[in-house]
Amino acid sequence: MPDWLLIIITDVRDGFMGITAEDLTRSVFFCLWLLTILIPLRGVDKRDHVAGMTYVLFSLGTGTALVLAVPQKLIGNPPPTTTLSILAVMAMASSFRWRWRKI
């Protein structure tokens, strides 16, 4: 095996060996939240404002629980600016999902 291939293999292996559960926690729960956002909305009328607000608040609540509350024991509380940024991104993503969906 060539030396350059051994160097690449050891670099990749060392990179993956350094990953801990704390590094993956938020991203795994964020992916779970994305799965809840991608639930099909075919049967809901797009013009219903109460349903839209309920959907946005539900997805924001689920995102808060999954991304901020569940991993809190493992990685601790993020700073307030990070928390507000995460909440703003989740609110925008769920609002865009409701607004630009297929009827």
Max alpha carbon distance in the chain (Å)? 64
Closest CA to 68 of 53, 57, 79: 79
Confidence of residue 96 (pLDDT cuts 50, 70, 90): very high
The residue written with tokens 């307030």 in the block is 80
Confidence of residue 102 (pLDDT cuts 50, 70, 90): low
Q: How far, in Å, CA of 57 to CA of 51, rounded?
A: 10
Q: Which residue has the higher pLDDT, 101 or 102?
A: 101
- Residues 53-88 have pLDDT tens digits of 999 999 999 999 988 888 887 788 888 998 999 999
- Residues 13-37 have pLDDT tens digits of 887 787 777 778 888 889 999 999 9
Q: How far, in Å, CA of 26 to CA of 30, rounded?
A: 6
